[in-house]
């Protein structure tokens, strides 16, 4: 009897152990299955997320390429510019959208040339792309693109060879670039004013790897450029050259013959929107309205081809001169952009269009002091040896300050004052930011040697991505 009961107990225990084992195996199998399903879902989601990200990246690439190919660059401030969807076989779709910077106003699908809101040298975009896979997984990517303007009126001063010394009386408020080497000199207090060297209020760049320095040592005998000048926005040396001279192309072709004058000519700008012209072919001065488009031309004939320009301009005008531009007196704008940055008065003066020529400040009063001179214009001496030159600089008393508001593109400033700062003019140049987006009529783009540039039709400038 005892043996019978003992055998039944062992069989029952075996059954229980078998059931328990099967239960454990079932639990393990269920766990493995759950883990496999979870891993599969994670892998699937990761793949979907990657696919959605790749789709959105494809949208960014498409949007970036589309943006580069636009002429003029698109503008829809405060809104968006949808580019449509891209279908990728078996993957899904992407929908890129470009948002224009709302700080920059727009006009007729291009640029409002009277607006200088935001950074005066850039136009900003956000490229946004949503990617959706075939299974409905979504991803989004954005990049910021800053488009930089690069034309001949984007600079306060642009030089092929630079100025024959920037000194204590020289102030530049705006971007400066030199394809050569900048010369900087200073004098020490207390014999001279209590500042050291020239003052640059905008970014400074030059092709040469170092500055050429002269004068007495400042800041404890140091030779660093900061000892000879103040760079409020820093400086960069060893940068690539930018092509000089600018190419005006055929800007004077098709001008109304009434606005083409041969030989030496005097042009007086009037605040009522007219100009008075004296020329050998005209018995008396002729008063005429500003031409449309706003370009006039003084041609070189019989050994002559200079233009004497002065007065106050009301309108937009570019005076192209085959040889020298002579500035006898102040040149002003009727609506002063220093007080009204949205004004539309703008003057361009182009010397050396077909012959060697300079921008000349004559010795108006050799026996006395002329006082300050004001020039509100963008000045270009087109030939690569063209310069800004003050006549008889070292032989004239301290005149005052030569105030230039606009931009200056020349090979060099050969002399505005002598090295000891006892004669001639100090210079105070302020960049007129309006010209960077919309230069005077017919003004050319400048092109970096290594950077492709796309034309902006409306404002006759150029644009590129800023890194």
Per-residue pLDDT of the chain (467 residues; tens, 9 = 90+): 455 455 566 666 776 776 777 777 777 666 666 666 666 566 667 777 788 888 888 888 888 778 777 655 666 655 677 777 777 666 778 877 877 664 554 443 334 444 433 444 456 677 888 888 887 778 888 877 766 556 667 789 998 888 767 877 789 999 999 999 988 876 654 455 545 578 899 989 999 998 887 655 444 445 556 567 888 888 889 988 877 766 676 778 788 889 999 999 999 999 999 999 998 766 667 899 998 878 999 999 888 999 999 999 999 999 999 999 999 889 999 999 888 877 889 999 999 988 889 999 886 555 455 578 899 999 999 887 888 888 776 665 566 788 999 999 998 887 666 545 556 677 899 998 887 767 788 776 554 433 333 333 333 334 444 43
Q: What is the pLDDT of residue 46?
A: 77
Q: How far apart are the first and last CA of the chain?
A: 98
In a shared domain, residues 23 and 105: yes
* 465 assigned to some structural domain: no
In a shared domain, residues 168 and 55: no
Q: What is the pLDDT of residue 104?
A: 52
Nearest one of 218, 292, 227 to 259, comparing CA atoms: 292
* 165 assigned to some structural domain: yes
68 Cβ contact list (under 8 Å, min separation 6): 454, 465
In a shared domain, residues 377 and 315: yes
Q: What is the pLDDT of residue 220?
A: 43
Q: What is the pLDDT of residue 273?
A: 93
Q: What is the pLDDT of residue 118?
A: 40
CATH number at residue 124: 2.20.130.10
Q: What is the pLDDT of residue 81?
A: 76
In a shared domain, residues 172 and 85: no
Q: What is the pLDDT of residue 131?
A: 83
Q: What is the pLDDT of residue 449?
A: 36
In a shared domain, residues 304 and 367: yes
Residue with tokens 């990617």: 131
Burial of 89 (0-12, 13-18, 19+ CB in 10 A): exposed
149, 168, 183 - which closes a domain: 149
Q: What is the pLDDT of residue 447?
A: 47
Q: What is the pLDDT of residue 260?
A: 92
Q: Is 0.85 topped by the overall pTM?
A: no
* 263 assigned to some structural domain: yes
Domain limits for position 125: 2-149
In a shared domain, residues 108 and 180: no
In a shared domain, residues 382 and 349: yes
Domains of the chain: total:
2
In a shared domain, residues 248 and 383: yes
96, 131, 149 - which closes a domain: 149
HEC letters along the chain: CHHHHHHHHHHHHHHHHHHHHHHHHHHHHHHHHHHHHHHHHHHHHHHHHHHHHHHHHHHHHHHHHHHHCCCCCCCCECCCEECCCEEECCCEEEEEEEEECCCCCEECCEECCCCCCCCCCEEEEEEEEEEEECCCCEEEEEEEEEEEECECCCCCEEEEEEECCECCCCEEECCEEECCCCEEEECCCCCCCCCCCEEECCCEEECCCCCEEEECCCCCCCCCHHHCEEECCCEECCCCCECCCCCCCCCCCCCCHHHEEECCEEEEECCCCEEEEEECCCCCCEEEECCCCCEEEEECECCECCEEEEEEECCEEEEEECCCEECCCCEEECCCCCCCCCCCCEEEEEECCCCCCCEEECCCCCCCCCCCEEEEEEEEECCCCCEEEECCHHHCEEEEEEEEEEEEEEEEEEECECCCCCEEEEEEEEECCHHHHCCCCCCCECCECCCCCEEECCCCEEEEECC
In a shared domain, residues 204 and 274: yes
Q: What is the pLDDT of residue 274?
A: 95
Handedness of CA 317, 319, 320, 326 (dihedral sign): negative
Here the tokens at position 31 are 């766990």
Q: What is the pLDDT of residue 332?
A: 96
* 193 assigned to some structural domain: yes
In a shared domain, residues 402 and 323: yes
The answer to whether 378 touches 410, Cβ cutoff 8 Å, is no
In a shared domain, residues 343 and 418: yes
């Amino acid at each position: 009897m005892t043996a019978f009961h003992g055998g039944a107990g062992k069989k029952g225990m075996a059954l229980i152990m078998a059931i328990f084992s099967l239960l454990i195996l079932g639990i393990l199998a269920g766990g493995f299955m759950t883990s496999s399903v979870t891993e599969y879902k994670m892998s699937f989601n990761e793949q979907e997320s990657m696919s959605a990200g790749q789709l959105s990246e494809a949208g960014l690439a498409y949007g970036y390429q589309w943006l580069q190919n636009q002429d003029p660059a698109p503008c829809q401030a405060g809104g968006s510019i949808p580019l449509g969807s891209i279908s990728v076989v078996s993957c899904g779709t992407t929908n890129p959208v470009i948002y224009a910077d709302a700080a920059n106003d727009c006009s007729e699908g291009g640029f409002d040339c009277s607006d200088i809101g935001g950074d005066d040298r850039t136009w900003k975009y956000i490229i946004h792309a949503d990617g959706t896979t075939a299974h409905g997984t979504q991803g989004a990517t954005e990049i910021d693109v800053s488009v930089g303007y690069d034309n001949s009126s984007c600079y306060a001063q642009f030089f092929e060879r630079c100025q024959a010394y920037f000194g204590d009386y020289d102030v530049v408020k705006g971007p400066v670039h030199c394809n050569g080497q900048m010369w900087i000199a200073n004098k020490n207090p207390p014999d001279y004013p209590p500042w050291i060297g020239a003052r640059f209020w905008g970014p400074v760049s030059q092709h040469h790897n170092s500055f050429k320095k002269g004068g007495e040592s400042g800041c404890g005998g140091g030779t660093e450029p900061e000892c000879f000048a103040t760079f409020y926005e820093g400086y960069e040396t060893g940068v690539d050259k930018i092509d000089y001279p600018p190419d005006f192309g055929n800007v004077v072709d098709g001008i109304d013959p009434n606005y083409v004058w041969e030989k030496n000519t005097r042009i007086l700008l009037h605040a009522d929107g007219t100009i008075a012209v004296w020329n050998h072919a005209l018995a008396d001065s002729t008063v005429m309205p500003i031409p449309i488009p706003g370009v006039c031309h003084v041609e070189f004939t019989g050994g002559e081809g200079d233009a004497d320009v002065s007065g106050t301009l009301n309108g937009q005008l570019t005076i192209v001169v085959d040889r020298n531009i002579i500035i006898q007196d102040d040149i002003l704008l009727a609506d002063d952009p220093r007080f009204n940055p949205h004004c539309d008065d703008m003057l361009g003066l182009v010397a050396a269009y077909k012959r060697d020529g300079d921008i000349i400040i004559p010795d108006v009063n050799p026996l006395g002091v002329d006082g300050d001179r004001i020039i509100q214009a963008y000045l270009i001496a087109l030939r690569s040896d063209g310069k800004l030159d003050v006549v008889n600089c070292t032989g004239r008393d301290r005149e005052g300050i030569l105030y230039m508001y606009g931009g200056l593109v020349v090979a060099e400033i050969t002399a505005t004052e002598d090295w000891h700062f006892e004669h001639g003019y100090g210079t105070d140049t302020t960049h007129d930011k309006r010209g960077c987006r919309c230069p005077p009529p017919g003004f050319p783009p400048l092109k970096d040697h290594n950077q492709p540039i796309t034309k902006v039709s409306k404002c006759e400038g150029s644009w590129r991505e800023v890194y």
